[in-house]
Amino acid sequence: MWRWRSCMYLKKSLCGFHSPVSSKDRLCYRSISKVTVPERAVSLEVSPVSMADVPQKVPQFYRRVLPQTCISFYSEEGKKIFREALDSGHMECYFKLAAQFRTQDEPAFCGLTTLVIALNALEVDPGEVWKGPWRWYHERMLDCCIPISLVEQEGITFTQFVCLAECNSLEVQPTKAGTGGTLEQFRDIIIEYTKRDDEFLILSYSRKTLNQTGDGHFSPVGGYHPEKDLVLMLDTARFKYPPHWVTVDLLWEAMHALDKTTGEPRGYLTVKKKMQSSHTEQRDILTLFKISPSFDITNVKVFSPGISPFITQWQDWLEKEYTEQEGDNNAVQYIIQNLDTCAEAGDENETVFTTQIDIKCVGDISKAHACVVHQLLNSIEKTSVYKAVTDFLTQQGKEHHLDKLGRITSNLSSGQEECLGGKLTTAHFVVMFLFSWPYEDDGDHSVKRNKDVLLNLKSEAFGNVLSGEFNILRKQFTSLLKLRKEKMAKRKKCSCHK
């Protein structure tokens, strides 16, 4: 006796994650389980079965054949092009990128892997431990306000790539196809950036235009042959296509293809390492805190509905005229009281911060890491703001809303519980928020605003560990606020044209 189970569709596992599954790639298979029957069992009636119902294997692929629009990097012709391009001086970008070139870990990770290659090639210190004592970029570390689980399913858009790059110490110059610039200007960019190794050119384009399978894709540019007008694309989906040479004209056309997720064309961008002074460059290391998933760059407004009212009220309050207070202590209490009022508008289940200690440590926390965490917490406790916050919390008892500033992540190991249990409190999260939030000095000092008071507070001297924590979180908040401003301006512009 045979039991036929329901048909399951297998989604095509290609980097073209924005394109629907085509009929030729959709395959129905039936999983069959055999049931033991007596030896003398009579014959069973089985309903007629079409060829479509015959059990088939799950589709598997070992690479694809490059279309005629592309020339394989390691073919005889590809090697000849490489030698000539090298002699022309347009392969300078290649060597650092090739040293860090890797295969993406997930079918939809082309954007993350391209960014990882650029970050490691530009020698950006992530400020986070990868494994053991080593700090090194990996795709799983690029979780600045966008869930990795979501990227696995959908990939990232052009705008999200820009935000992630800025969150990770890169200066980015993005250019959307169709919004400015010409083919000749694009070619000039290629010519310039293939002659240098301190900045890189990254393209976001449609594979379909190149006659490849899939759709949206990211790749770093690895070189250029000026006479043949060919660009070397270091395709991170090496399980699918090898690196290949493509004409500039075709890439220009591929960048103009619309992204079905955003309804906009793709484009190109240049990335370089942000310049930092030597005395701060090595201390920007994120040890304990992490911005919570309530800040999500895939969200239309970047802030989740639960955290948005809190942050909106906080931003509005910062721009209001400061009510003069007598003494620095009263000024700090004034800030904390108003922060508590703003926090009341937020959802009880959402916070600004969480902790990342469980992500960085497998098993129990090491003694060295525990030492740094304790040093960080001690540094927070030595600030004048920490004392003011603890005094406020003592006075209010349970009648406050500052718990929405942060929460220790769940599922800690026993070693991590021992490290943080009873040591990390609401007051620590409040201090981190007040000092890491980016307060813009617009230069208008005719009226003293609330944000001006906080700018003065930030002049307080901190230890290296605490300064590093503040610097990275402030950088991430700045990127998120910039992206939110751009998205809101775009929505406003669209509504005006309706």
One domain for residues 194 and 341:
no
Is there a contact between 268 and 337 (Cβ–Cβ < 8 Å)?
no
Is 452 noted as a catalytic residue in this protein?
A: no
Whichever domain contains 189, its CATH number is: 3.90.70.30
**Of 275, 304, 338, the domain-final residue:** 275
Give DSSP secondary structure letters for 11-23.
Answer: PP-SS-TTSPPPG
Residue 440 tokens read as: 């813009």
Residues 305, 451, single domain; the answer is yes
CB-count burial class (<10 Å; 0-12, 13-18, 19+) for 309: middle
Same domain? For 431 and 300 the reply is yes
Same domain, 270 and 345: no
15, 18, 163, 235: which is the annotated catalytic residue?
235
Would you tell me how many other CB atoms lie within 10 Å of the CB of residue 192? 14
Whether 334 and 206 share a structural domain: no
In a domain, 14, yes or no: no
CA torsion through residues 105, 109, 110, 116, sign = negative
CA–CA separation, 350 vs 306, rounded Å? Answer: 6
What global pTM score does this model have? 0.69
Q: Which residues pair with 289 in a beta bridge?
A: 355
* 385 located within any domain: yes
232 and 350 share one domain: no
Contact 254, 242 (CB under 8 A): no
Last residue of a domain, one of 245, 275, 305: 275
Told to judge if 217 belongs to the known catalytic residues of this protein, a careful annotator would answer yes
- Is 448 within a domain? yes
Q: Give yes or no: 244 in active site.
A: no
What is the rounded distance in angstroms from the CA atom of residue 170 to the CA atom of residue 202?
Answer: 13
Catalytic residue among 217, 225, 369, 428: 217
Q: Which of these, 341, 335, 328, lies nearest to 437 by C-alpha position? A: 335
Domain span at residue 315 reads 289-495
> Which of the 8 DSSP states describes residue 362?
S
Residue 5 lies in a domain: no
What's the CA gap between 29 and 336, in Å, rounded? 61
Do 234 and 350 have their domain in common? no
Same domain? 299 vs 332: yes
Asked if 436 and 473 count as a contact pair (C-beta separation under 8 A), the reply is yes
186 and 305 in one domain? no
Domain end among 275, 309, 339: 275
Angle between helices 426-436 and 464-496 (to 10 degrees): 60
Contact 248, 186 (CB under 8 A): yes
Catalytic residue among 15, 70, 93, 110: 110
Clarify whether residues 376 and 444 are in a common domain: yes
Q: Based on the structure, what is the number of domains in the chain?
A: 2
What string of pLDDT tens digits covers the 498 residues of the chain?
333 333 333 333 334 433 333 333 333 322 323 333 333 333 333 444 454 555 567 788 899 999 999 999 999 999 999 999 999 999 999 999 999 999 999 999 999 999 999 999 999 988 777 887 788 999 988 877 677 888 988 999 999 999 899 888 899 999 999 887 899 999 999 999 999 999 999 999 999 999 999 999 999 999 999 999 999 999 999 999 999 999 999 999 999 999 998 899 999 999 999 876 444 444 467 788 999 999 988 888 899 999 999 999 999 999 999 999 988 889 999 999 999 999 999 999 999 999 876 544 445 666 767 778 888 999 999 999 999 999 999 999 989 999 999 998 877 777 777 778 788 999 999 999 999 999 988 778 789 999 999 988 776 667 778 888 888 899 899 989 998 988 888 776 655 544
Whether residues 303 and 236 fall in one domain: no
Does 345 share its domain with 418? yes
58 falls within a domain = no
Tell whether 34 is covered by a domain. Answer: no
Q: Flag whether 20 is in a domain.
A: no
Residue 12 lies in a domain: no
